Amino acid sequence: MLRIPYRNRLLLKKILRIVLILLAVALVLGVVLLIYIEPYIIYDRDGAHLDLSADENQPAASEELAARPTIENPLVIYDTNAPVEKTIAEMGGYYITTAMLQDPAAVLDAVKKLDEPCAVMIELKSIFGNFYYSTSIGGAQKADVDIPVIDELISYLVDNKFYVIAVIPAFSDRAFALDNQSCGLPLSSGALWMDEYGCYWLDPANETVKSYLMQIARELSGLGIREVVFSSFCFPESSSIVYASDLTSTEILRQTASELTGFFTGSNLMISFETDAADFPVDACAGRLYVPDVDGSQVERYVQLYGGSQTLTELVFLASSRDTRFENQAVLRPLLSE
């Protein structure tokens, strides 16, 4: 049996202690380095990669929980004795897109020239997640436009008794997906799925996503807006998305639509949806259903598709056409030419 001299044993113990200390230091440095580079990890179509040129102000993944909105003490106006609004068919009206809001002064001027109050629909968030008004939602990104003028536009509409409708893309939201990556739709690599416009999409069944949408609607209700329309309310059609559920996509959308509608039931805020999908769960919609980009030849098809719903308040078409086939339908037309 090999005997190690006492001095050598002491030396080996000292070396072992030093090695363990060095390993512990290396582990700590590794964790610190991982935390430091996390903001520079970019997720795109090719997966995850390191980009040291990324914005240093990008929230780190470790801050994700703090960035997630919660619904506490909902400040929504409830009034069961509120007067019944006219239908869109009776009011008539216009829609305003984010493209029009690149020149908000022109939009405000056009609104002030309207003869009498009507329905006015405004896109107040882009598919990239940029807000087109002075939102107080933590971490929200504002669009690069004249926000104070848009705030003035909203105030003018509300103060002058227009029926104001806000359009909010529900699940197409690049900014929120980057700040809350566990809420996005993933690829097999773990990176987030991206559509052809460079937008990340959110998981319709995710509780944080639902809270986020409720928070936006609650804030808009506080501004005097009477109806919130969720667009991009669908699952993207892509075989690249890795998603496991016992429910079908239609069942998930029906459940989420019912929760959003139910949260504001009895309040002065109507929850509606914008879609042209044949499989949209219209039975979960108690508000209005808006069909975008319609020409006269499509009117009858959508009337047959959605018109038989017992829960739907009204079917509304977003169209620029003056086709006579729209005469007996509820229609909103563009305020400005784009």
Do 150 and 13 have their domain in common? Answer: no
Q: 87 phi and psi, to 5 degrees?
A: -80, 160
Question: In the chain, how many domains are there?
Answer: 2
Range of the domain at 4: 1-58
- The pTM for the full model equals 0.77
Of 58, 85, 107, which residue constitutes the final position of a domain? Answer: 58
Express each pLDDT in 216-228 by its tens digit: 999 999 999 999 9
Do 175 and 229 have their domain in common? Answer: yes
Give the number of other CB atoms < 10 A from CB of residue 176. 28
Range with lowest mean pLDDT among 37-41, 44-48, 136-140: 44-48
Helix-helix angle 147-159:104-112, to 10 degrees: 20
Instruction: With cut-offs at 50, 70 and 90, classify the pLDDT of residue 26.
Output: confident
String of DSSP letters for 172-201: B-HHHHHHSGGGBPBPTTSSBPB-TTS-BB
Do 25 and 153 have their domain in common? Answer: no
Helix (H, G, I), strand (E, B) or coil at 220: helix
Instruction: With cut-offs at 50, 70 and 90, classify the pLDDT of residue 64.
Output: very low
Higher pLDDT, 154 or 16: 154
What value does the mean pLDDT take over residues 26-44?
A: 57
Cα–Cα distance list, 105 to 109, 220, 301, 313, 328 (Å): 6, 21, 38, 33, 33
Do 259 and 139 have their domain in common? Answer: yes
Cα–Cα distance list, 161 to 27, 153, 218 (Å): 63, 13, 20
Instruction: With cut-offs at 50, 70 and 90, classify the pLDDT of residue 32.
Output: low
Give the number of other CB atoms < 10 A from CB of residue 19. 10
Do 52 and 69 have their domain in common? Answer: no
- At 241 the pLDDT is 93
Extract the tokens encoding 60: 């780190």
- At 42 the pLDDT is 46
Angle (CA) 178 181 186, round 5°: 110
Instruction: With cut-offs at 50, 70 and 90, classify the pLDDT of residue 8.
Output: low
What value does the mean pLDDT take over residues 18-31?
A: 74
Of 9, 42, 58, which residue constitutes the final position of a domain? Answer: 58
- At 338 the pLDDT is 67
Q: What is the CATH number of the domain that holds 330?
A: 3.20.20.70
Do 253 and 310 have their domain in common? Answer: yes
Of 33, 58, 83, which residue constitutes the final position of a domain? Answer: 58
Do 315 and 288 have their domain in common? Answer: yes
Express each pLDDT in 249-289 by its tens digit: 999 999 999 999 999 999 999 999 999 999 999 999 999 99
Do 221 and 128 have their domain in common? Answer: yes
Do 37 and 101 have their domain in common? Answer: no
Do 51 and 93 have their domain in common? Answer: no
What value does the mean pLDDT take over residues 323-337?
A: 92
- Beta carbons of 108 and 152 less than 8 angstroms apart: yes
Do 113 and 196 have their domain in common? Answer: yes
Do 79 and 141 have their domain in common? Answer: yes
Residue whose token pair is 């996005």: 184
338 vs 5: CA distance, rounded Å: 90
Encode 232-265: b = buried (16+ Cβ within 10 Å), e = exposed: bbbbbeeeebeeeeeeebeebbbbbbeebbebbe
